[in-house]
Amino acid sequence: MQGKVIVITGSLGALGQVVAQIAQARGARVAGIDHAPSQVPATADRIEIGGVDLSDEAQAKKAIDAAAKHFGRLDALINIAGGFAFETIGDGDIKTWQRMYALNVLTALNTSRAALSHLAASGSGRIVNVGAMGALQAGSGMGPYAASKAGVHRLTEALANEWKGKVTVNAVLPSIIDTQANRASMPNADFAKWVTPQELAEVILFLASDAASAVTGALIPVSGRV
C-alpha cells in the first residue's frame, strides 16, 4: 500500500473507517467519500469529501475528480457505500427496491465510471466492490437487498472483462459483518461467527494491492465462521 492513492466510498461507516485506518497505516494516501457531512481537515495523506450522493452521476464524478486533483493520481477505488433493507416482496414497497438499487448498484457504477480513466493511467488500477453472500441465494425478506447486491456482482464481472489488462475489478462477498448496528439488530446472535471489519479489510486491501495483479472478475466469499 506504500504510496498508493486509494478512494474509499462509505468511508465514515464502520467498515470504511477500518479500511481507511489500515490502508493509511501501511503507507497509503486516502480520499474518503461519504453521504454524511465531514469536518475532517484535508492533509497531505487524507481528505474526506462529505455530503455526496453517489447515486447521482454528476456528484460522484465531482468527488472522484476532486480526489484525483488533490493527490495527483488514483490507484484504487474501494466501493463500500451502500445500504440494507429487510422486506418481504408481497408486503413490501417498490420504493425499497428502487432505494436498494440506488444505494448499492448506482453508487458503485457511478464512482467506477468516474474513476476508470484515472485508474488506467496509474498502470496498476484496482476496483474492489462489496457484494454479499446473501445475494447468492436470497432468503425471505432479502429480495430487495439481494437483488441489488447481485447487480453489484454482475457489474463487477462485466467491468472486469471490459477493462481487462487495464484495471482489475473484484468483489468481496461478506456474510454478516460484526458492527454495532448489526449487533443491535440481532442481539441474540453468536457474534463470534461473524466476519469482523478487520478481517474483511485485509481481503479488500489485498485485492487493492500489487500482489493481486493477476486477480480480476473474482467474487470472493468472506464469510467468517457463519
Q: What is the pLDDT of residue 186?
A: 96
Residue type, 65: D
From residue 215, alpha-carbon distances to 115, 136, 205 in Å are 19, 21, 13
Grid cell, residue 140, equals 425471505
Average pLDDT of the segment spanning 15-25: 97
Q: E strands of 149-197, at which residues?
A: 167-174
What's the domain count of the chain? 1
Q: What are the angstrom distances between the C-alpha of 26 and each of 3, 47, 49? A: 9, 17, 22
Task: Please report the pLDDT score of residue 41 as a whole number.
Answer: 83
Per-residue pLDDT tens for 31-46?
A: 999 999 987 788 889 9
Domain containing 39: what range?
5-222
Percentage, residues of the chain above pLDDT 90: 96
**What pLDDT score does 1 carry?**
87
Bridge partner residues of 30 (DSSP): 6, 46
Whole-number mean pLDDT of the chain?
97
Mean pLDDT, residues 160-169: 98
- Alpha carbon distance 196, 191 (integer Å): 9
Check the CA dihedral 15-48-159-87 and report its sign: positive
pLDDT, position 165: 97
pLDDT digits (tens, 9 = 90+) for 185-222: 999 999 999 999 999 999 999 999 999 999 999 999 99
Q: In CATH, what number is assigned to the domain containing residue 156?
A: 3.40.50.720
The 10s digit of each residue's pLDDT in 102-160 is: 999 999 999 999 999 999 999 999 999 999 999 999 999 999 999 999 999 999 999 99
Give the H/E segment covering residue 48. strand 46-49
List pLDDT tens digits, range 72-87. Answer: 999 999 999 999 999 9
